[in-house]
């Protein structure tokens, strides 16, 4: 075994997006593509000048550079098990060993769900973690792969850090890599590459311990003992082993409660995105009647941080889910002392704002992406947070957490004895209903979307104050955010139109797509009158949808007759 010094050349396209660097598998499989990104990350972590100052690596005789911030440190490593996960793990181990890292703790088989990785980083006080996942993006040889770095708080790297990594990729010319043989990652135990120790752990253990510390498992066991049925679709992704062990193994849910539980490299050909458009089978099962019909249905995404939850024949929007979890948080042991505050991403509906107001706690509005919640959680300003994209989480970790949301809902149902539908309808009666819909235009040529957004920006100053039918625009802006904790700013986070009846239209370009550009149009209509809470969502937002088209001409710019997916 020895450390090799290898000459490389920068790849121009290694800027991380909303959640890490995501590309087609074929892109990641180019020689040195993954290696370069990981070396850039390790260089930044090793840089003596702090993460903002990329350091020129001198080819110092194969020592892997001079500054040694990683010496003595532990990194966590794991991924969602998709195609290329296993070879990527081997490459990263060799790079990490050559760059002076002392210890790696990794999930057996290279597996760690995103929330589990966050749990392991926090519980073991690691320096950080490398997570291999493209989350909800399709997998397999023709699908997507992704990598991201999480910091010692267990949360995604801040923008400052991801920009430093990107800057480093642009000047990188040297890789340090061990020429050791591949190691066996499928047995719990200890290994070594160069001087680096590797501990292979059960991927579920740490995470399960965190769940036990938050929820009353006896209460949940009682719920299942009374005949309650749940159906969780793990979508052949990484959440399966977690859901199976915790729900069926520890809490006593019936044995077939978790379906599609075996993680597959291509997710069985399915799209591991728990969006109603991708969970036909679950929706069908949840419409069945009779004794064997589940009362709570749920689905997880590729890396198990997202959740879709539904009652019998009743879909719950993620925005409503966040509002209800906030409303009922005191029923959960971990939150019985109350919440410090809540946070939601800007496009997420304002349902949670109304609950926060009633509770007398602050509600923060952040840009899209979990990394923006980290500082608020670390500073103790918020306890719960969520996004409209089927993500909810809390201060227990620094990632969103799909199974946590399912356990939370089960607990609320167990304590209140109410169905999901009646809980949500009661909520609407008290707080009003935010009808909510998102239209995604996928794989649109980048230049079409750029022109659309540029022209929309140009219209903004004139839009404020204009009246369209019965609605007047109060705010027309390009959302910018100043982090209340560290004062860092993020601009161009989506065009936002807020109307005088509290309706909102938001236009945003996705930061996770790997093919061309994805445009997202988010629509929210607030309806306080309980007599009007039973409309089909598409109908309820039809007028807003027409207005969005009138103002933005999305269909004209994208040359599409309509959205690819309407959620
Ligand atoms: C999407 C979602 C965003 C989420 C991100 C990562 O980003 O909209 O809310 O945080 O995915 O989720 P974008 O930029 O495509 O809109 V995951 O589960 O893919 O890590
Ligand atoms: Co995810």
Q: Are 135 and 143 in contact (CB under 8 A)?
A: no
User: For residues 239 and 405, is the Cβ–Cβ distance under 8 A?
Assistant: no
Q: Is the pLDDT of residue 52 over 80?
A: no
Atom of ligand 1 nearest to the CA of 134: 19
161 and 292 share a domain? no
Following DSSP, what letter does each residue of 201-230 receive, concatenated? Answer: E-TTHHHHHHHHHHS-HHHHHHHHHTT--E
Q: Whose CA is nearest to atom 17 of ligand 1?
A: 135
Q: What is the reported pLDDT for 270? A: 86
- Res 306: pLDDT: 96
Specify whether 113 is catalytic.
no
- CATH number at 558 reads 3.30.310.50
Residue ending a domain, among 184, 203, 222, is 203
Average pLDDT over residues 315-340: 98
Same domain, yes or no, for 395 and 450? no
pLDDT confidence of residue 54: 37
Q: What is the largest CA-CA distance in the chain?
A: 75
* Lookup: tokens for 561: 């007759």
pLDDT-derived band of residue 51, with 50, 70 and 90 as boundaries? very low
- Distance from the alpha carbon of residue 115 to the mean position of ligand 2, in angstroms: 9
Mean pLDDT of 117-124: 97
Point out the ligand nearest to the CA of residue 156.
1
Quote the domain boundaries for residue 78.
3-203
Q: What is the pLDDT of residue 67?
A: 53
**One domain, residues 225 and 189:** no
User: Are both 390 and 508 inside the same structural domain?
Assistant: no
β strands within 371-484, DSSP E: 384-387, 391-394, 433-444, 467-468, 471-478, 481-482
Decide: 387 in ligand 1 pocket, CB within 6 A. Answer: yes
Asked whether residue 268 falls in the same domain as residue 406, the answer is yes
Q: Whose CA is nearest to atom 3 of ligand 1?
A: 369
Number of domains in the chain: 3
The answer, yes or no, to whether residue 101 has pLDDT greater than 80, is yes
Q: Which of 19, 57, 135, 545 is catalytic?
A: 135
What DSSP line would sit under 9-54, residue for residue? Answer: ---TT---BTTBEEEEHHHHTSTTHHHHHHHHHHHHHH-TT-TTS-
Q: What is the pLDDT of residue 62?
A: 38
Report d(CA 272, CA 303) in Å as an integer: 9
**Is 275 near ligand 1, meaning CB less than 6 Å away?**
no
Shortest-distance atom of ligand 1 to CA 520? 16
CA distances from 245 to 202, 227, 254, 260, 392 (A): 12, 19, 12, 14, 21
**Residue 475 dihedral angles phi and psi, to the nearest 5°:** -125, 130
Residues 107 and 254 both lie in one domain: no
Flag the least confident range among 54-68, 330-344, 418-432, 485-499.
54-68
Asked if 234 and 346 sit in the same domain, the reply is yes
Q: How far apart are CA 206 and CA 212, in angstroms?
A: 10
Based on the fold, state whether residues 382 and 508 are members of the same structural domain: no
pLDDT tens-digit series, residues 484-495: 999 999 999 999
The torsion defined by the Cα of 411, 414, 418 and 422, in degrees rounded to 10, comes to 20
Going 173 to 178 to 182 to 187, the CA torsion angle's sign is negative
Buried b (16+ CB within 10 A) or exposed e, 399-433: bbbbbbbbbbbbbbbbeeeeebbebbbebbeebbb
Integer Cα distance of 343 and 434 in angstroms = 17
Q: What is the pLDDT of residues 338-397, one digit of tens each?
A: 999 999 999 999 999 999 999 999 999 999 999 899 999 999 999 999 999 999 999 999
For residue 284, give every residue at least 6 positions away whose Cβ sits within 8 Å of its Cβ, in sequence order, or none.
none
pLDDT of residue 49: 38
Residues 67 and 120 in one domain: yes
Is the pLDDT assigned to residue 53 strictly greater than 50? no
Which ligand 1 atom is the nearest neighbour of the CA of 368? 9
Together in a domain, 343 and 397? yes
Angstrom distance (rounded) from CA 206 to CA 401: 14
- Domain boundary at 411, 431, 451, which? 431
Same-domain check for residues 417 and 551:
no
- Is residue 368 within 6 Å of ligand 1 at its C-beta? yes
Please identify, among 390, 411, 431, the residue that sits at the C-terminal boundary of a domain.
431
Q: What is the mean pLDDT of the segment spanning 8-26?
A: 94
From the CB of 366, is ligand 1 less than 6 Å away? no
Residues 150 and 186 placed together within one structural domain of the fold: yes
Report pLDDT digits (tens) over 509-527.
Answer: 998 888 899 999 999 999 9
- Tell me, using a 6 A CB cutoff, whether residue 369 lines ligand 1: yes
CATH number, domain containing residue 59 = 3.40.120.10
Averaged confidence pLDDT in the chain:
93
């Amino acid at each position: 075994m020895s450390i090799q010094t290898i000459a490389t050349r920068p790849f121009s396209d290694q800027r991380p997006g909303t959640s890490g660097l995501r590309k087609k598998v074929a892109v990641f499989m180019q020689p040195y593509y993954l290696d370069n990104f990981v070396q850039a990350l390790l260089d930044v972590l090793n840089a003596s000048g702090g993460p903002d100052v990329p350091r020129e690596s001198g080819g110092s005789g194969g020592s892997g550079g001079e500054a040694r911030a990683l010496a003595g440190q532990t990194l966590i490593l794991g991924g969602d098990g998709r195609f290329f996960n296993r070879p990527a793990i081997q490459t990263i181990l060799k790079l990490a060993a050559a760059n002076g890292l002392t210890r790696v703790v990794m999930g057996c088989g290279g597996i760690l769900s995103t929330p589990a990785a966050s749990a392991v980083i926090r519980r073991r006080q690691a320096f950080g973690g490398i997570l291999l996942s493209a989350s909800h993006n399709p997998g397999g040889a023709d699908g997507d792969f992704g990598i991201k770095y999480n910091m010692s708080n267990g949360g995604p790297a801040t923008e400052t850090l991801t920009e430093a990594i990107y800057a480093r990729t642009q000047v990188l010319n040297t890789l340090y890599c061990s020429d050791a043989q591949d190691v066996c990652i499928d047995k719990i135990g200890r290994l070594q590459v160069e001087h680096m120790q590797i501990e292979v752990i059960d991927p579920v253990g740490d995470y399960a311990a965190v769940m036990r510390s938050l929820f009353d498992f006896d209460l949940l066991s009682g719920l299942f003992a009374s005949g309650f049925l749940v159906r969780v679709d793990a979508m052949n992704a990484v959440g399966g082993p977690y859901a199976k062990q915790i729900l069926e193994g520890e809490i006593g849910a019936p044995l077939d409660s978790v379906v599609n539980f075996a993680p597959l490299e291509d997710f069985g050909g399915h799209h591991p995105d728990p969006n109603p458009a991708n969970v036909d089978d679950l929706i069908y099962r949840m419409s069945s009647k009779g004794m064997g019909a589940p009362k709570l249905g749920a689905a997880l995404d590729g890396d198990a941080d997202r959740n879709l939850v539904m009652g019998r024949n009743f879909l719950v929007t993620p925005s409503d889910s966040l509002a209800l979890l906030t409303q009922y948080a005191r029923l959960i042991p971990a939150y019985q002392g109350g919440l410090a505050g809540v946070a939601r991403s800007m496009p997420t509906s304002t349902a949670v704002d109304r609950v926060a107001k009633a509770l007398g706690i602050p509600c923060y509005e952040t840009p899209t992406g979990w990394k923006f919640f980290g500082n608020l959680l670390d500073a103790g300003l918020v306890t719960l947070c969520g996004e409209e994209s089927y993500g909810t989480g809390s201060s227990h970790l620094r990632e969103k957490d799909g199974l946590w949301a399912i356990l939370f809902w089960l607990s609320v149902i167990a304590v209140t004895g109410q169905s999901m539908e009646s809980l949500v309808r009661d909520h609407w009666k008290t707080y009003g209903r935010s009808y909510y819909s998102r239209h995604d235009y996928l794989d649109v040529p980048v230049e079409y979307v750029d022109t659309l957004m540029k022209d929309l920006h140009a219209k903004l100053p004139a839009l404020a104050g204009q009246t369209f039918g019965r609605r007047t625009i109060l705010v027309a802006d390009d959302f910018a955010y100043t982090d209340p904790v560290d004062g860092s700013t993020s601009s161009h986070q989506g065009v936002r139109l807020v109307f005088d009846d509290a309706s909102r239209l938001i236009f945003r370009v996705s930061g996770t797509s790997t093919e061309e550009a994805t445009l997202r149009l988010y629509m929210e209509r607030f309806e306080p009158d309980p007599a009007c809470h039973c409309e089909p969502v598409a109908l309820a937002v039809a007028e807003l949808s027409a207005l969005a088209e009138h103002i933005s001409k999305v269909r004209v710019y994208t040359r599409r007759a309509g959205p690819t997916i309407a959620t």
